[in-house]
Amino acid sequence: MHMDNTQSENISLSYLQPSDYKALKAAMIEAYRSMPGSFWAESQIETLITKFPAGQVVIKINDQLAGCALSIIVDDAELEGEHTYKDITTNFTFENHNDSGDMLYGIDVFIKPEFRGLRLGRRLYDYRKELCEKLNLKGIVFGGRIPNYHKYADQMGPKEYLEKVKLKEIYDPVLNFQLANDFHPARIMKNYLEGDSASSEFAVLLEWNNIFYEKPNKEASTNKTIVRLGLIQWQMRLYDNLDELMQQAEYFIDAVSGYRSDFALFPELFNAPLMAEFNHLSEAQAVRGLAKYTDEIVKRFGQLSVSYNINIITGSMPMVKNDKLYNVGYLCKRDGSIESYEKLHISPLEAKVWGMQGGNILKSFDTDCGKIGILICYDVEFPELSRLLANEGMDILFVPFLTDTQNGYSRVRNCAMARAIENECYVAMAGSVGNLPKVHNMDMQYAQSMVITPCDFPFPSNGIKAEATPNNEMTLIADVDISLLRELNQFGSVQNLKDRRTDLFDLRKKTTRKKKS
């Protein structure tokens, strides 16, 4: 927030100055009429200004002081146990203020009675939030008074009082204001502010979490908030050998990395053209023949990811393990590491024609662009999988797919759009187009690759960030802003993740046990 009066001709927000003390003292006496003598000494204000000038601000109307907010920075560890107002201010000396701390602690905030109703308090809290983000602090915390509690103290404890205020059954001017400003109660504190008889000396520890906080990293970090996705809408065509297929794959990787894409996404079973070599065999034997190429393809993708400095999601390929056939893909990171993912739900045709088995591993992946998830085609039609990944912090869900008809494609697309909304994440889906007349069970393909977003104000109204031309071989490159997901989670018109009724239901992975041999 800028230190000027651009928001209103007569309203200004500025740093507190020592010359403001006389007006500040008068304002405090007026604001705290129920607590006589509750004002800061001039020396204490001077100490705050010296230690942390950016934390002390005043609002003025026509140059008349109307409100004030005072704060210090403390270590999060100081808040783990019980503390009093006297403790947190080090006996009102503010000796514990620490420029290297990670939490902004609100010492005082008030608006003079004559200026209440102008939403000036909200401006002070907005300034604190912006300061918190600017300084990369974890959040804001303070002990909130409950000045109406004395009216109910003989009927209920402070915890029950807090619940009734949250349910709007009891009105508390301070607590209601804090809750309306996105602060959430952490716990009740006893004997917090000596002399606060209106609150029976109870207080509610209130917190606001900075969704943009980044844990300091002493190592060189490449984590990004704007992530560029390169989707490859792959044309199925016959290749004479593996080298030809990988030459085409490298062509696309070169193209999307030339635009500094962070990810290249290939479709499910993009290597199916190599199955023509085994077309004289049954479908089940032919796909197992194709699986013989998988290790070499993964090795080459791993080399390409490093040489082109791009994370490659290899779509998927058949793989034989313990004589069982699986549909498996690989995340080849640009740091040289490789991780695998499995198709968990096998379509009826895959099971019937190829004898394919469903995998057993569901996990999210840490990348230099945040946490991602990968679900192969049919898997995206099962909402439990992506919700489990969302619980692990997934920001982008990648969906390599292969569909032969527009019906099948529509199922994948519509489910992918639902996953973006319900999990507050981006979804990138890429498929194959064209036909393979010389490969049994892979005759034709239909695809329109796209990048999907949640449907709220920071995003496209139809939830589509970018889309390819249907059934044309091409690349699709789009940027997604991870910080917008944090804003959505905190301030969205609807908040799907926050509003889940976890008091009624639970979703968790089962622990798989290895069978004894």
Provide the angle, in degrees to the nearest 10, between the axes of the packed helices 21-31 and 42-51. Answer: 110
The whole-model pTM stands at: 0.72
Q: Residue 188: what pLDDT?
A: 93
* Pair 341, 360: CB distance under 8 Å: no
Residue written as token pair 């490449």: 222
Task: Please give the Cα distance from 239 to 262 (Å, whole number).
Answer: 28
Q: Residue 2: what pLDDT?
A: 42
Consecutive sets of 10 residues in the chain, 517 residues long: mean pLDDT of each?
A: 46 92 92 76 95 95 92 92 91 93 94 85 91 94 91 93 92 87 91 88 93 72 80 94 96 94 97 90 93 97 94 97 96 95 95 94 95 98 97 97 95 98 98 86 88 96 96 96 91 90 89 52
Domains and their CATH numbers in the chain: 11-209 (3.40.630.30), 226-491 (3.60.110.10)
Q: Residue 36: what pLDDT?
A: 66
Tell me whether residue 268 is one of the annotated catalytic residues.
Answer: yes
Q: Among residues 69, 51, 52, which one has the least CA distance to residue 60?
A: 69
Q: Residue 31: what pLDDT?
A: 81
Q: Residue 219: what pLDDT?
A: 55
Catalytic residue among 377, 424, 425, 465: 377
Provide the angle, in degrees to the nearest 10, between the axes of the packed helices 294-307 and 242-258. Answer: 30
| Amino acid identity for residue 482 in this structure | I
* Pair 401, 427: CB distance under 8 Å: no
What φ, ψ does residue 141 adopt, rounded to 5°? -145, 150
> Is residue 261 helix, strand or coil?
coil
Tell me whether residue 130 is one of the annotated catalytic residues.
Answer: no
Task: Please give the Cα distance from 220 to 25 (Å, whole number).
Answer: 48
Q: Residue 217: what pLDDT?
A: 64
Catalytic residue among 60, 112, 129, 343: 343
Separation in Å, CA 420 to CA 142, 411, 479, 488, 502: 35, 14, 16, 12, 20
Catalytic residue among 201, 268, 283, 342: 268
Task: Please give the Cα distance from 342 to 464 (Å, whole number).
Answer: 27
